[in-house]
Each structure stands twice: as C-alpha cells, then as structure tokens.
Amino acid sequence: MTSHRSSRVVVDGDVRPATVHVEGGVVVAIGEGAADNDYGNHVLLPGLVDSHVHVNEPGRTEWEGFTTATKAAAASGTTTIVDMPLNSIPPTTDVRALAIKSRAAMGKLWVDAAMWGGVVPGSEDSIPALTEAGVCGLKVFLTDSGVPEFPPMTVDALRGLKMTVPLLVHAEDSELLGSLRSPAGYRDYLESRPPQAERVAIEEVAHLSGEVHILHVSSADGVAAISAGPNGLSGETCPHYLTFDADDIDDHATVFKCAPPIRSREHREALWEGLADGSLAMVVSDHSPSPPGMKRGDFATAWGGISSLQLRLPVVWEGAIDRGIGFARLAEWLAAAPARLAGLVRKGSIGPGMDADFVVFDPEGSTDVRGADLLHRHPLTPYEGMTLRGSVVTTILGGHTIFDGRTVSGPRGRMLTRS
C-alpha cells in the first residue's frame, strides 16, 4: 500500500487536507496522517479526463498519433482520453473500424483511453454492435466535418435512431452557414459561421430521445439554447473559447481557426457564466491537430483545429482564478463531468474504489508555452509565448507516477470501454 497527502485534496466536492491510501492501483481509503508522498500545499486533483480528443491514428498519423497524444496527455495531468471517431481512416463507424483503431493503439498508450463511435448516413445499422463493443457514445455532424469519409446526418435521420448511449452533436445548422472564397480573413470566417447557426442546430436536436450532448459550445446563443432545453441535454466548451477574444485575432492568424469559431468577449463571458450556473457541464480540449502546412493559407483554406491537449489545466486555471472559481469546480469540469458523460465510472474523482489517478498541481507556479516543448506531434499552438498561471508537478496513473514534471514514463495505459 502507498499513500499520497496534501493540505489541499479535492474530495467529495470540497478541498481539504487528506491522505489518500492506494493499493493495487485503486483508492482504498481516505484519512489523515503521514504519507509516503507528501505534496505539501500543492493541490491533489483527480486525474483529468479529456473526452474530446482527435488522435487521428490510423490513417492520418502524420497529424497526430496515440504515442504523441497520450504522452502530451500525461504531461497535462490528463490520465484518460476519449478518442473521437474522426479523423482516422477508417472512421469509427462500425465494429471493424473500432477493431482496427484498437489494434493501432496497442503498446502506444501512456494514459488510459476509450473511444467514441460515430454515425454517418448508411452506418445506422452498426449502432447496436458498436454499443455492445463498448464505445462511450456516438458522434454526428449536422454540417460538413471537413473530411469526406465522415459526412453529416440530418436531424430527421437522427429522430429515427434508437440509442442507449449519449449522442454527441457538432451543432451548426448548414443552412445558416455562409460560403467562403479565398482569400478570406478572420472577420470573413467569423461572419460565415454565425452564433445563430449554433443556436438553431441545438434547438433542432434538443428534444431527440435519449441523452444529447452538444460539443464545443462557442456562443452565448448556444448556452441559452442548452439552458432552455430538456434535462437530457448537456453541453461542453473548450479552453480556446474561454481564453481568446475574436477582436484580438489577426486576419491572417490561421493558427486560431476552429469550428465553430472563437467569438467576441461577450460570448466568451457567457460561456464562463454557463459553466458557473451549470448550463455547460465541462471543459474539454477538442484537440484537433494537423501538420503545420495545413494551417497555412487563409481562413477559407486552412485546417480548422486547435492543439491544446497538454495545456487544458493551466489555461482554464488562468481564467478561473480571475473569476473566483476554485479547485472543486475545476475538478468537476475537467475530470468528473467528462468521465460521467463517457460512462467511465472509476474515473474523474478521488474516493474509495476509484482508480488511483491523480494530478499534483502547483497553482502558484507558471507554465511558459513554447510549442517546441510540447509533446504533441506538431508544435503549432495559438498559446505560443503565453505564460500561464499554474503548473503540473506530477501525474499518477493507477498509482504509478507517469510524469514527474520533466519526463513522461510508460506506456502504462489501458484501453477502456463504457461501463
């Protein structure tokens, strides 16, 4: 048995001194007293869960891969990721593709991983088998996904689906999206994807049967639509929407391109308010990398995706501390809520019977962002040159230290299925 102590441990929605006892990779008790590992005043949080990661292997491994993505996750305090069904080839829309992706991940997991499935026109009959195989839920697009092998579904088609796992929706109404001609600046791109497209799409799917989860909410309109929706509707947002302001993005700064786009300060503050009042449940990375060459050009031609898997905790803490938000809420947004969505019942919190996954965080430290120092496959990031408050000191997976503040060790990760 080993033990871990801090004067600030996030337990049962509170922050207090505690000693966490671990045996066989599982938390067996929480008490007081001395410990094998004493972290002083550093915060002991549950290992983070990032339920929105595009690993892209196999098929587009030159964009990212299980080795590089999960090493970056380990360095971020993230002990579990859930991989999106695109942009890998084949996309995870049937059990054959799921098996191919699972084999591609073997021996390459520095943290635990699970998988979302996907639904595209013609793959509806694969839903029961994918669910039985243990995917955490099923993702759909209502508009162009950016890759030809993952075309969008219509809302009418979604009404006919029978599902027992969450439906994840990229919610933008195609009819409200404008066309873009090259060359296009940031203002052109922003106008082509208005917040109304997000609101209308959310309203269209809000009353589908079962659990509906809205991905990467970017606007005040989106928050309002979720808040007005039924209890089975939930939403997430991402660090870049909580950090950046459209007014500060240069017309040629395609490193900031993502879909939906980063909007004005008014929308950013509405997202923080949505998190505070529970309209939004979580903050996940939507890590969607690509080779740097694909981010060149203009906002009509560049790839729309942001790499931030390794930076989620200090980025969110940077915004949270200015708004008086404490560690218990961070643990909920960055660990517990994503774990619940994905059905990973032993992840996301510190307590008896839970996996011994922890992150030791120094909130008074700092993180200097240098793309070349990140463990993602490619160094391009819109956070380049920023100094963020807080730093990850240690990451522990199943009771084993996998990141010591300098070096990632492993691979120790396992492939998980929905409980």
Number of C-beta neighbours around residue 107 at 10 A? 9
Domain hosting 332: range is 48-345+365-387
DSSP result, 111-130: SEEEE-EE--TT-GGGHHHH
Q: Is the peptide bond before 37 cis (omega within 30 degrees of 0)?
A: no
pLDDT in tens, 321-340: 999 999 999 999 999 999 99
Span 336-356, average pLDDT: 98
In a domain, 25, yes or no: no
In a domain, 237, yes or no: yes
Q: pLDDT at position 297, please? A: 94
Sign of CA dihedral 176, 177, 179, 182: positive
Q: pLDDT at position 108, please? A: 98
Nearest Cα to Cα of residue 151 among 116, 117, 120: 120
**164 contact partners, CB below 8 Å, separation of at least 6:** 131, 210
In a domain, 8, yes or no: no
Number of C-beta neighbours around residue 62 at 10 A? 12
Give the pLDDT band of residue 371 (cuts 50, 70, 90). very high
Nearest Cα to Cα of residue 133 among 163, 169, 96, 106: 96
Count structural domains, the chain.
1
Q: What percent of the chain has pLDDT over 70?
A: 100
Alpha helices in 113-232 (DSSP H): 127-132, 155-159, 186-192, 195-205, 220-227
pLDDT in tens, 103-132: 999 999 999 999 999 999 999 999 999 999
Span 69-93, average pLDDT: 98
pLDDT in tens, 41-56: 999 999 999 999 999 9
In a domain, 359, yes or no: no
The CA distance from 34 to 7, in Å, is: 11
| H or E element, residue 312 | helix 312-321
pLDDT in tens, 270-299: 999 999 999 999 999 999 999 999 999 999
In a domain, 220, yes or no: yes
In a domain, 406, yes or no: no
In a domain, 400, yes or no: no
Q: pLDDT at position 339, please? A: 99
pLDDT in tens, 163-194: 999 999 999 999 999 999 999 999 999 999 99
Mean pLDDT score across all residues of the chain:
97
Looking at residue 6, its amino acid is: S
> Residue holding tokens 């950013």?
268
317: helix, strand or coil:
helix
Nearest Cα to Cα of residue 83 among 59, 75, 323, 224: 59
In a domain, 34, yes or no: no
Q: What percent of the chain has pLDDT over 90?
A: 99
Q: pLDDT at position 93, please? A: 98
pLDDT in tens, 214-272: 999 999 999 999 999 999 999 999 999 999 999 999 999 999 999 999 999 999 999 99
CATH number at residue 246: 3.20.20.140
DSSP result, 362-381: EEEEEEE--GGGS-SSS---
Sign of CA dihedral 204, 205, 206, 208: positive
Q: pLDDT at position 41, please? A: 98
Give the chain's end-to-end CA distance (angstroms, integer): 26
Q: pLDDT at position 312, please? A: 98
